[in-house]
Structure 1
Amino acid sequence: MLELKIASRFLKSSKGQTILIILGIAIGVSVQVFIGTLIQGLQKNLINTTIGSSSQITVTSNSSDGLIDASKDKIKVIENSNDNIKNVSPSADFSGFMEYNDKNYPILLRGLDLKRADKIYKIKDNLKSGREPKNENEVIIGTDLKKESKLNIGDEITILTPKGKSKKVKVTGTYDLKSSNINNKWIITTMKTAQDIFDSKDKITGIEMQVKDVFSADIISKDVKKSLKEYDLKISNWKEANASLLSGLSGQSASSIMIQVFVLVSVILGITSVLAITVMQKSKQLGILKAMGIKDGKARNIFLYQGLILGLFGAVIGVALGIGLTYSFTKFAVNSDGTPLVPLYLDYKFIGASVLIAIVSACVASVVPARKSSKLDPIEVIKNG
């Protein structure tokens, strides 16, 4: 196309100016990608740390004894209530004490379906030593409790219930679920062992689940509640207990968007001003082209194409620069154990949107100079040369 060829020649004839505009766009896009990617990585890491390996929706009983019967039937109902539910696990949780070497430690005995629970808590991956409970009266304890009580694998401990019952169990392993409160309180065992010690028969205390989209947990919990409406059960989700976390995430997102908007505005203003000057610089050439028969619409398209070319090159370079900055940040900003302070997380939809916004912004920025060029009078321009 003629307009595209002319636009390319105009840009090539002022290489220094063209390079500066492209660098300006690239820096703007790189800042947008860097900040957006960094905050998304921070949010994802925060979510994974706080609720990624825990129950996101929990079903408990409103009854006086806190127990749920016919749990298998209820689990089937829950699994069929919403397609976004991915992991469901029953639990039998009881507060009590652990007795070892004449000392008592407050604990929460967690009877779990270990196969199901592993999908939520990643127990196998977080085992530090020994093995999971396989037989009755076997347990695993957290690293903090092991350190405090000076237990060893193979030792026997006594579980004491509030009703005065006691039961000796064997420690087969230790875990680290990355939470000192959990590591110091939870003693994990099989479902049957917990039920036998606390005389709950085949009843459980809760049903835990994870969902595909953690931010939809409140909506999904409503579907779960509807499916279980005939039972006296309570359904809670992680959002209810983490209002401050949600507020912080919303604040981060809002600040990120504000910064990106201001960067885009500065880029648009920069491109508009430079291209407006280009119209004045190329006014004689435009006058000659108009005198040769180029219509106003085509003269306008020359600058629109310039904006498109500048936006395209600036966006591509900016994305590469932004990803490079993010990667460098994850290598230099590290924790004491060498892991990144903020993990590298690339959202390709966000990156694609950043490229598109940069190109559209560059085209929008070229509208003003494009309209200005279409209003040039070729006779006056050539006359005043």
Structure 2
Amino acid sequence: MKLAFSIATRFLKSSKGQTALIAIGIAIGVSVQIFIGSLIDGLQLSLIDKTIGSSSHITIQPKGKENYFEDNDEIINKLRKDDRFTAVSKSLDASGFVLQDEETYPVLMRGFEFENANNIYKLDEKLIEGNLPSSSMEILLGKNLVQELGFKIGDKVSFLTPDGRYMESKLVGVFDLKVASLNKSWSISTIDNVGEIFEKEGSLSTIETQIEEVFDADIIAKSLDSYLQEFELESSNWKVQNEELLSGLAGQSASSIMIQVFVLLAVLLGIASVLAISVIQKSRQIGILKAMGIKDKDASLIFLFQGLLLGVIGSIIGTGLGISFSYIFSTFVKNPDGTPLVPFYLDIKFVGLSVAIAIASSTIAALIPARKSSKLNPIEVIKNG
């Protein structure tokens, strides 16, 4: 085996141009695999983050037509002790109206525990003016609604409930959720304030959560349902509510895999064809080696080792190129606001798998020329020159 490896390295060194050509082909194939794979993964993570990064992954709500349920610390404590959950927050929602110059504007009043809700909605990052409510009777309004009604920080905002009750709250902050409909229709305050305005003290409308593994939302939600039944509650998850997004992500993944497969096939054919030519070029040397006593197995190993070495060299170069291309793309291709169009993302497992596949493929591609070399008749090769 050592002899076959030594001869393989000599053959590669003696045909430097040919060796460089194959190594570059493998490097390009690996770099395209890593670049496309990292690009698609980064794009998917970006889409998921923008779509559900600041929203509830699993939401617990009352069954049937009920809108509210009694606040229950047992459920909250159970969820917070579960390592699968990264955030758990109570919320109390109620529909009402903002009064301005005898005009009414429909809003959804959302009551949060800000310490916990901030882990989901990143409200402190979404504030463009003012502060989060620190006491009852303080509220946040969206940028679009504030602009339309001409409110300023410190103004009193009048609310009218569906049953005709009238309450005032102080505007302490303005948020921008990057969604015009939410900026115009959401009013955010403490749970206590919303409970007082709508006479729902001690009630909740939902328990909102985020989990570590976002794609396990449906599995985790299903595992909760049997426990929630005794409280007449049920769960919903983001995957059910975003089927079109999941379909798009699946399509992206399939496209990425197809591109990588065709690139891999092109590399395989290139390696096999070049090494097959190499067998013909080196047939005289192989014939002499066989005449000197080298076994057919060792003659085959020469080309298998060539494929292995070329795969290793090409994979190392290709990995460097693929990671560099991904970083350059994320650095220089940006959105109008200066953020990366696709964030840089590097999955070490994916890179390792790409390298392993490239090395295995280049070795497998060498099987055909290896088999051909083992069948060479030394007498005929030397006789025919």
TM-score normalised by length of structure 2: 0.97
- Determine the C-alpha separation between the residues in 2 that align with 1:280 and 1:338: 56
Do the aligned residues in 2 keep the contact of 1:77 with 1:228 (CA within 8 Å)? no
* CA spacing shift, 1:65–1:220, aligned 2, 3 Å: closer
Q: How far did residue 278 of structure 1 move?
A: 0.4
- Determine the C-alpha separation between the residues in 2 that align with 1:113 and 1:331: 37
Q: How far did residue 178 of structure 1 move?
A: 2.2
SS at the partner of 1:125? Answer: helix
For residue 229 of structure 1, what is the amino acid of its counterpart? Q
Q: What does 1:208-357 align with in structure 2 at a 5 Å threshold?
A: 208-357=208-357
* CA spacing shift, 1:223–1:83, aligned 2, 3 Å: farther
- Determine the C-alpha separation between the residues in 2 that align with 1:148 and 1:347: 45
For residue 318 of structure 2, what is the amino acid of its counterpart? G
Moved more, 310-319 or 175-184: 175-184
- Determine the C-alpha separation between the residues in 2 that align with 1:184 and 1:105: 9
Please tell me whether residue 2 in structure 1 is matched to residue 3 in structure 2: yes
Q: What residue number does 2:45 align with? A: 44
- Determine the C-alpha separation between the residues in 1 that align with 2:64 and 2:374: 78
Q: How far did residue 63 of structure 1 move?
A: 5.6
Moved more, 338-347 or 255-264: 338-347
- Determine the C-alpha separation between the residues in 2 that align with 1:2 and 1:63: 77
Q: What residue number does 2:29 align with? A: 28
Q: What residue number does 1:165 align with? A: 165
Q: What residue number does 2:85 align with? A: 85
Q: How far did residue 65 of structure 1 move?
A: 4.4
Please tell me whether residue 61 in structure 1 is matched to residue 88 in structure 2: no
SS at the partner of 1:91? Answer: strand
Q: How far did residue 297 of structure 1 move?
A: 1.2
Moved more, 139-148 or 357-366: 139-148
- Determine the C-alpha separation between the residues in 2 that align with 1:135 and 1:70: 20
Q: What residue number does 1:17 align with? A: 18
* Cα deviations by residue, 1:65-96 (Å, 9 ceiling, x for unpaired): 4111132122123345x532221111000111
Do the aligned residues in 2 keep the contact of 1:67 with 1:204 (CA within 8 Å)? yes
* Cα deviations by residue, 1:326-348 (Å, 9 ceiling, x for unpaired): 22222342211121111111111
Residue segments in structure 2 that go unaligned for 5+ positions in a row: none
* Cα deviations by residue, 1:264-302 (Å, 9 ceiling, x for unpaired): 011001100100110110011111111122111111111
Alpha carbon RMSD of aligned pairs, Å?
1.3
SS at the partner of 1:87? Answer: strand
SS at the partner of 2:247? Answer: helix
Moved more, 155-164 or 316-325: 316-325
SS at the partner of 2:51? Answer: helix
Do the aligned residues in 2 keep the contact of 1:71 with 1:90 (CA within 8 Å)? no
* Cα deviations by residue, 1:302-359 (Å, 9 ceiling, x for unpaired): 1111011111111111121122222222234221112111111111111111111111
Q: What does 1:113-128 align with in structure 2 at a 5 Å threshold?
A: 113-128=113-128
- Determine the C-alpha separation between the residues in 1 that align with 2:64 and 2:74: 18
Do the aligned residues in 1 keep the contact of 2:69 with 2:205 (CA within 8 Å)? yes
Do the aligned residues in 1 keep the contact of 2:228 with 2:234 (CA within 8 Å)? no
Moved over 3 A (4+): 77-80
SS at the partner of 1:42? Answer: helix
Q: How far did residue 64 of structure 1 move?
A: 4.7
Q: What residue number does 2:130 align with? A: 130
- Determine the C-alpha separation between the residues in 1 that align with 2:261 and 2:235: 40
For residue 42 of structure 2, what is the amino acid of its counterpart? G
- Determine the C-alpha separation between the residues in 2 that align with 1:79 and 1:137: 28
* Cα deviations by residue, 1:221-251 (Å, 9 ceiling, x for unpaired): 0111122121211211111111111100000
Residue segments in structure 1 that go unaligned for 5+ positions in a row: none
For residue 62 of structure 2, what is the amino acid of its counterpart? S
- Determine the C-alpha separation between the residues in 2 that align with 1:265 and 1:327: 26
- Determine the C-alpha separation between the residues in 1 that align with 2:64 and 2:365: 65
Do the aligned residues in 2 keep the contact of 1:77 with 1:227 (CA within 8 Å)? no
Do the aligned residues in 2 keep the contact of 1:111 with 1:189 (CA within 8 Å)? yes
- Determine the C-alpha separation between the residues in 2 that align with 1:310 and 1:317: 11
For residue 256 of structure 1, what is the amino acid of its counterpart? S
Do the aligned residues in 1 keep the contact of 2:88 with 2:116 (CA within 8 Å)? yes
Q: What does 1:139-150 align with in structure 2 at a 5 Å threshold?
A: 139-150=139-150
Kindly tell me the number of residue pairs found equivalent between the two proteins: 384
SS at the partner of 1:344? Answer: coil
* CA spacing shift, 1:187–1:283, aligned 2, 3 Å: same
- Determine the C-alpha separation between the residues in 2 that align with 1:33 and 1:144: 42
Moved more, 346-355 or 97-106: 97-106
Q: How far did residue 9 of structure 1 move?
A: 0.8
Q: What does 1:101-116 align with in structure 2 at a 5 Å threshold?
A: 101-116=101-116
Moved more, 13-22 or 176-185: 176-185
* Cα deviations by residue, 1:161-211 (Å, 9 ceiling, x for unpaired): 111111100011111222222222111111100111111121110001111
Do the aligned residues in 1 keep the contact of 2:112 with 2:190 (CA within 8 Å)? yes
SS at the partner of 2:229? Answer: coil
SS at the partner of 2:230? Answer: coil
